[in-house]
Amino acid sequence: MDKNIRLLYPTLLLSVFVIATCGILYELLLSSISSYFLGNSILQFSITIGLFMFFMGVGSYLSKYFEDNIIDVFVNIEIILGFLGGISALTLYFAYAFTLHYYIYNVLFIGFLGTFVGIEIPLVVRIINQYSSLKETIAKVLSFDYVGALVASLVFPLLLLPKMGIFKTAFLIGILNLFVAFANTLFFKEYIKAFKLKMGVIFTLIVVFFGGIYFSDIYTHPLEQKVFRDPIIFKKHTLYQDLVMTRRNNDYRLYINGSIQFSSTDEYRYHESLVNFPMAAAVSHEKILILGGGDGLAIKEILKYPDVKEIHLVDLDPEMTKLGLNNEIFKRLNKNSMHDSRVLIFNEDAFNFVQNSSEIYSVVIIDLPDPNNTGLGKLYSTEFYQLLSGRMAKDGVMITQATSPYFAREAYWCIYHTIGEAFEHPVAFNADVPSFGIWGFVMAGKGLDHLERTDSTALTQRLIKRMEKYQIFDSTRYLNHNMIPRMLIFPEDMDEVPTKINKISTQTLVDYYLQSAGNWQ
């Protein structure tokens, strides 16, 4: 192998590693953007990866038509990929914010990127094959390709997305493709047509994309602002989700992955209902478990009961609980409740926590996001509720938020029926929360086994009597003696409908939820 080949051969193999990394990163990037805008991450990742792989196949097939000067073709492909990949996130945000055709733009990017990525490897194989046997070429190219895929799958969720965010990540991936174009243009100079022009284009795009990374805060804030109704005052990409807080006058709103979690103007309606029903129904308040609720607003309500001895808060995302603990706005809204000495915080998966715990709880409050993907859907399954029943005291009570019985009627009653598989006679009730609409809850427990939902008089009297004992009505702004019986009433358009049971293996609830999600979007 002469000096020239010894220099070019490792350049090509390194190119394989980089383009393989970029290819997987593009799939993950486009999937994440669609999940953020459209929800249901499993569906978006499946569609994006499936379409991307299909177009890669199209690209691989088309590669056979490139016969002359394939090194120059390869460089051209890398320039196109770098350009399209770099502008992908910016373009898709514009499409979502300013048009009604986001998905068309998304499929176009998947198609073009996938096709060009599919052309890359066959061309590189043909180039490298000039310097080694076919057996060695295939072995080394595929090895570098698979290693690049592994690197991409690790750095995207652990480093790029939480540290750089969507826009900077897109520009960085584009730059990587452009560096491949630069290296191959330089080392294969004698085969490159319009050498100076290509180098000028590559250099210009790299400078522009580095500028895009450096000045990202200038243009990303107004662009992201277009997605939200009110001015953004806080945003953070975490390992698990995108957190955004907006403010208009005195109304603060928290969004997770684009979906509203609370509005400070009416959160009390939601949290008074979520917390006081099970707390009033339970005989003991010795140990309380909250799943979700990292904002601390549920804890604020729980601390109205002086006999509470211990509160365990389980929230997967430490960045969420840091907000509840340290952010001045959150601390004001939750009355600094998360700093109470009785509160213990666990940043763990709720399913794993319940499965592995040996604690016994008097009250369990489930304040998790809506079941818009299978990761959340398992936390509304029979298996999960059965696990939960083993962590509850003999007279314990649990409650879960259960989406809207008006906008997501089948999803709500699916949760109710699923809970009924683990607990006898679950109790369904609803509250009017203006920022959400009519919102539903389901309460159950061994202490409620003899209180039928259709015979609510005994339950109503019990709740009112217990709330009076703890002087809860002195501090509530929504709940009162007259409101509680009304909350157990469901009008005809929200009343019970037959549904399937949600199991981890079927995830029926996610289907119900996604079918109705457009009703309030």
**pLDDT tens track for 62-82:** 999 998 889 999 999 999 999
Ranges under pLDDT 50 in the chain: 1-3, 450, 452-454
Rounded distance between C-alpha atoms, residue 264 and residue 250, angstroms: 8
Whether 315 contacts 293, CB under 8 Å: yes
The pLDDT score that the predictor gives to residue 131 is 74
Residue 62: CA atoms inside 13 Å, Cβ hemisphere, count?
16
Q: What does the pLDDT read at residue 127?
A: 85
Give the pLDDT confidence of 355-387 residue by residue, as tens digits.
999 999 999 999 999 998 888 899 999 999 999
Tell me if 279 sits within 8 A of 286, measured CB to CB.
no
The residues, any chain, with a CB within 8 Å of residue 486's CB and separated by 6 or more, are none
Catalytic residue among 145, 315, 349, 367: 367
User: Is 217 one of the annotated active-site residues of the chain?
Assistant: no
Instruction: State the Cα–Cα distance between residues 480 and 486, nearest whole angstrom.
Output: 10
Contact 24, 148 (CB under 8 A): yes
Alpha helices of 260-340 — where are they, by DSSP H?
267-281, 297-302, 318-326, 328-333
Query: What distance in Å separates the CA atoms of residue 38 and residue 35, rounded to the nearest whole number?
Result: 5
- The tokens for 146 are 């698979």
Q: Which domains does the chain have, with CATH numbers?
A: 3-224 (1.20.1250), 229-261 (no CATH), 266-519 (3.40.50.150)
pLDDT at res. 154 = 92
Global pTM?
Answer: 0.79
Nearest to 372 by CA among 343, 350, 403: 403
**What's the confidence (pLDDT) of residue 453?**
45
Tell which phi-psi region holds residue 282, choosing left (phi > 0), alpha (psi between -120 and 50) or beta: beta
Amino acid at 231: P
Q: Which two tokens stand for residue 155?
A: 């750095």
Residue-level pLDDT at 2: 42
Give the pLDDT confidence score for residue 210 in this predicted structure: 95
172: left (phi over 0), alpha (psi -120 to 50) or beta: alpha
pLDDT at 449: 53
Q: What is the pLDDT of residue 425?
A: 84
* pLDDT for residue 447: 67
| Cβ-contact 139, 221 below 8 angstroms | no
35 touches 166 (CB < 8 A): no
Q: What is the pLDDT of residue 218?
A: 77
The alpha-helical segments, DSSP class H, found in 390-456 are 409-420
Could you give the CA distance from residue 228 to residue 434 in angstroms, rounded to a whole number? 17
